[in-house]
Structure formats: structure tokens, C-alpha cells
Chain A
Amino acid sequence: MSGALIDIRNLTVRLSGGRDAVLVDDVSFAVGKGEVLCIVGESGCGKTVTARSIIGLTRHDPRFSLSGEIHFDGRDLMRLGADELRQVQGAGIAMIFQDPMTSLNPLHRIGRQIGEVLTLHGKHSSAEIRRRTIELLRQVGIPNPETRIDDYPHQFSGGMRQRAMIAMALACSPSLLIADEPTTALDVTTQKQILTLIKKLKVDYGMGLILITHDLGIVAEIADRVMVMYAGRCVEIGAVRALFRTPQHPYTAGLLASIPAANRVRGERLPSIRGVPPILSEGRPQGCAFLPRCDFALGQCRNLPPLRASGTDTDHLDRCWLSPEVKNQTLRRLQEGAEA
């Protein structure tokens, strides 16, 4: 995929130590300029490890071993030294995390923490840094930024802290923003505010966005493309409408059907996926990792299916042996049954 902002090829992350496990297994994807890719999956599926590996946060942990290529801005980030990588972190790629309270230093004023990023990535005068920090706080919708800049994190509400985190991420106008469950700790109406803000800033800054979430509602709201992960592997990837309308993997279809959405008629049983996701440190099932929970499993499923297109849409890939007819009819029916 040429012209992509970031191109990740065959990313594999192994956890060694007491229990060996492959946390991320041969994951490849690209994100274009201004594009939003959502990585979705349940706890332990490897979505956070994938995101942290892109920005190099897992590199210094001796328990992790990484392989693969991450092409960004004409370079392979996997081959960069620590100093070079630090230049990319924050300036080229920025990241925001789930819990804004633990990612802000409680002892430093908000303004100083944002200013620090500016100082690290450019040589500005202190007056200039303060002016730019106020400007950033205003952009992320913090009221009275001139006075709030001198507040400590505990004086901010949860939503405002996440706004401050976003301001910090934007400080160096990154071309790619990685957001790991940015609204999970927030209330619904605050979540709506933050998602609206992220969407707006993405356009203003022309950023690419990788957003990690477990909530398919958020995916539908913000994504251009979606990658579904299960047990460390990408099981389905495609454009958001294609994936929601015609899910090709039984896991994706099951997830979509099991959401107790507010638009659904009350009273009937929710379709659920039986069993629980595998614990990777206890070994992954042979072949397709979803096999023990799948209602459509075939003998063939003991061999790992390739990630390939089932239909004519060559951008919509899935990792499932089922025939395209079964996928298009049965899986669609599963989902429509849930909506009816």
C-alpha cells in the first residue's frame, strides 16, 4: 500500500518469561492520511499491545520480543535507535491513553506538562510556549484556558483531563494519533463530547487516527476502516460499512449480534457467543483460535485459515474457511435476526 501514512507489516509480539505467549501474531495493516482505523476486540485480544508496539512503548521491556516492519515517514521504526525513535514519539506519532488520571503527573501543573512536550520537540521561548499551550487548551475546549493552564490535574474533571491529554498529544501537530480506549473511563455524555472533539481535530490537523476500543458503537461512529482482533490475530479487516453490513467472520457477526443496543426490541434473548476467549499464556487452540466457540466450525478449521478476501471487495479480508455463500447468508441472517 503506497501512499499510506503508516504501514505495519507482519508485526509479531512475543512475551517470554514464565509463560511464553504470542500476544500479537503476524498483524499487518496500513492507515492513510486523514483515515481512521479502529482496532476492536475483547480484553486480551492484543489490541493494546499492537498500539503500544507501533509507538515503541513495548521495546524496552525485556519480556517482549518484537518482529516485523513499521514503515512511517519513509523509515522503518523497528530499526530506529532509541534517540531517533524519541524524535518520532510525540512529534510524528502521538498517543492518548484510557485513564487520563494515571497519565498526567499529579504534582505538576497542566500547563507545565503540555509545555514540556513543546520544549522537548522544539526550542521556543517560555512566553511562546505559554501562548501555544493556551491556544491548545482552547482548541480542545477547556473553558478559561488562561487561568486553567495553572491548575493541577486533580482540579480537572475526568472529561477535562482527557481533553488536556489530547492537547498534549496535539502539541507537536503529529501526523498520526493513536488513541487507546480514550473514552472508556468517561460518562456517556462526556464520551460523546470527546469523540466529537477527536473527529473535529482529526480534520483540523489532517491526522491519521488509530483508535482502539471494545465498543462497536464507537467504531460505527468514527471509523473509516475496522480491524477485528481475536486472540492476537487479525480475524477481519475492512471498510466500516462493509464490515457492519456483511461481517465475514463468525466472531465479528457474533459480536455485532450480541450488543444490547437501544434500538433493539426488548424482551427477546440476546444472541451470545458461548465460551470465553482463550488465555494466550495457556496456549492458543490449534488452527483458528475461535474454533472452540464457533457454531459453524468445519474439520478444516484445525488448520489456520489465511487472511484473504471472500468476495469481490478486495479490501475486506477475513480469516475464516467458511464458503462465501455461507458467510453472506448465514452470518447476515444472524445479525438481521438480532435486529428484527
Chain B
Amino acid sequence: MSGTPLVRVAALRKYFAVKGGWLGGRRGQVHAVDDVSFDVASGETLGLVGESGCGKSTLARCIVRLVEPDQGKLEFDGEDITHRPTRSLRPLRRQIQLIFQDPFASLNPRKRISQILGAALDLRDASVSRGDRQAEIARLLERVGLAPQFMDRRPRELSGGQRQRVGIARALAVGPRLIVADEPVSALDVSVQADILNLLKDLQAELGLTVIFISHDLGVIRHVSDRVGVMYLGRLVELAPADQFYAAPLHPYSEALLSAIPMPDPDAHLTRKEIVLEGDIPSPLAPPKGCRFHTRCPYAQALCAGSEPKLSTQAGGRLVACHFPLAKQESTGR
């Protein structure tokens, strides 16, 4: 992890106005992404995890510049792309690609697979001859584990897993350097999910891709990520190398998330700490004052309601936004 990072996100903010009332006046703002900063090194996989409303998808959309951030800075390969106008985003699209969650909604049902992939290839180089293009499409399909015959099919003739493979092939068609995958396996069955995860990892190793992988599933995140970032109500609350994170999370929310994953082992409850959080996730329209997690945190103290902790470096270079990170308390015998 030396040199300039491929992606640099600095104090990024994106609010959405909520309109309502009978004159359509502004009712409030969804604090979707609030002051989030991190770097992603070239060739690295960063896993982003969080529950609904935590801002992980908005963050993904900011990074691929489907939406424009309000504040902060977004750099790709050393270049500031935060407010680049839509017109001049095309060259960027060849470098950054998004893989969507729902393989049923993200492919045009009226087009054949060859047309879907062909359109993406044209974005890279429109001057390719017809024959070369067909060969390139076949090569793309093969790369994602589909037979060339799939070229003539339409999305509805494909299973969910096969569609997601086409979605991946489309992302690869332009030869990107960064892939942002937003819940790419959430809509798939377990046995198919494993295939797609393996495929993504193979492709990453083969093509030297950098990946930002977004999921609510900590099991999936562990399988693919080098580093893990946890988001809660628009804030990044913890960022750590994957192995350290899973061995000992520092933020109480991370700990609760890890404890909430149902483990496929009937005796798992004997060896792990059971944490059941109280209450619901507060509305991102009005995030709590102080630490945003303090309303549900089992260890909250007076300070937590009053002042918001900043993401700061702990021993070992890990980042956490908490006044009372866990490891410290652990050693005092809690």
C-alpha cells in the first residue's frame, strides 16, 4: 500500500432534501453520507458494511459519480472528480464500473445479451469491426463462466446467477480499474452466491482490479475484503484490516453486528457473546446528537450523548469513532 491510493474519499458529504407538506416545501434532509473519509489502494478490496439507511449505497453512487457529492473531496487516481460535470464523466466510466444488486432490474429485458455487452464494448472503442466484436463478447462471456450461446438470449431466459454473471461481464467490458459492487450477491441463493463470490475473486486476481464491495452480510464481506469499513447512519464508525476486525472489533456497533450474524453452527451461542440491541435504527432524517449510536449502545455514557466522537487512530493503526473503544475496556476486565 504505497504510493498514491487509487481512490481517496475526504470528508465526503451527501444530503438529500425530503420534500413534503402541501406546498411541497422542504421538510428535512436525509443525512445519507456525512463526513466520510478513507483511501483505497490499487488492487485492494475494501468491504463496506452497514444496515439499511447507513448510507453505503449512496456512498457507492458518489464514488462512481452517479450522484454528485455536496461537500468534501473525491479523488480517482490522483485526479479530483468531486464536481466533474456529467458531460465529461464518460472517460471516467471506462475506469470505474458499478455492479448492481438486482440482476433482474439492471439488464434491459428487451435486449439480447450480445446487445447489452456490445453497448458496453462500444463505450471502450466504437471502431471495432463486427466480427471482432462478436469474438470479444464470446471472450467476455467465457471469462465469467458462460457459454458463447448465451449471446443470443434475453435476460428473462437466464437464472439470477447467470444474470449477475452478465452484469459482471458488462462491467468488465470497458476494462475498468475500479469496480464498485453494491450488494452483488444479496439476491442470490446460497449455492449460487458462492459461485459469484469465487468468480469476483478470480477476476480481481487475474485483472488486478480494485474493488469496493458493499454488503450487509458480514460473512460475505469477510470472504472478499482486505479491509472492512462499518457505516452507521451516514458515518464511517470503524475501518480496520479484515483479520483484526473480525478477531476484535473496536466499535460497539461492529461488535453488535458481528454478534447478530446467525452462525451455521448449532452450538455457536456457547462460545460467543450474545448482544441484542435495543430499539430501532433512528431515522437518518434526524440522526441523534452526539454519537449517533449512543441511543442503542450498551456501553453508552454521558459523554456519548453530548459530543460526537471523530474517527481517530488507535493503537495498531486502526480507525474507530468511539469515545470508549472496546479493546481498552476489554483489558480492564469487562
Contact = CB atoms under 8 A, between A and B. Distances in A.
Contacts of A258: 190-191, 193-194
Contacts of A273: 191, 194
Given A42-B189, A42-B191, A189 B264 contact: no
Contacts of B263: 217, 220-221, 261-263
B61 interface: no
Interface string A245-273: 00000000011101111111010011111
Interface of A: 42-43, 143, 157-160, 187-193, 195-196, 214-221, 223, 240-241, 244, 254-256, 258-264, 266, 269-274, 276-277
Given A43-B189, A188-B216, A188-B257, A217 B198 contact: no
A271 B194 contact: yes
A240 B261 contact: no
B300 interface: no
Contact of A256 (B161, B189, B217, B264): B264
A196 B194 contact: no
B219 interface: yes
A274 B223 CA distance: 19
A157 B296 CA distance: 15
A260 B189 contact: no
Interface stretch (B107-115, B275-283, B318-326): B275-283
B262 interface: yes
B260 interface: yes
Contact of A259 (B190, B198, B258, B267): B190
Ranked nearest first, the 3 interchain pairs of A and B with the lowest CB-CB distance are A217-B262, A272-B194, A187-B51
B243 interface: yes
Interface in B233-287: 242-243, 246, 256-269, 275-277, 279-281
A255 B264 CA distance: 10
A272 B243 CA distance: 23
A190 B222 CA distance: 21
Interface residues of B, number: 47
A220 B262 contact: yes
A160 to B, nearest CB: 7
Contact of A160 (B224, B275, B280): B280
A261 B256 contact: no
A244 B268 CA distance: 12
Contacts of B190: 42, 214, 216, 255, 258-259
Interface in B84-100: none
A196 B266 CA distance: 15
Given A218-B262, A223-B266, A269-B201, 5 more contacts: A158-B52, A188-B216, A220-B262, A261-B222, A276-B192
Nearest to A251: B191
Given A258-B193, A260-B219, A270-B194, A192 B277 contact: yes
A188 B222 contact: no
B191 A272 contact: yes
A241 B265 CA distance: 8
A220 B265 contact: yes
B277 A187 contact: no
A220 B266 contact: yes
A107 B266 CA distance: 41
B195 interface: yes
A272 B198 contact: yes
B223 A270 contact: yes
Contacts of B224: 266
Contact of B261 (A42, A157, A188, A244): A188
Nearest to A43: B189
11 contacts: A160-B280, A187-B51, A187-B216, A190-B280, A190-B281, A192-B276, A217-B262, A217-B263, A264-B223, A270-B197, A276-B161
Of A189, A221, A241, A262, most B-chain CB atoms within 10 Å: A189
A221 B195 contact: no
Given A42-B189, A220-B262, A221-B262, A262 B222 contact: yes
B189 A188 contact: no
A215 B186 CA distance: 12
B169 interface: no
Interface in B109-152: none
Contacts of A274: 195
A302 B222 CA distance: 39
B220 interface: yes
B218 interface: yes
Contacts of B194: 258-260, 270-273
A189 B197 contact: no
Nearest to A244: B266
B276 A196 contact: yes
Contacts of B265: 220, 244, 263
Contacts of A191: 260, 262
B191 A159 contact: no
Contacts of B220: 260
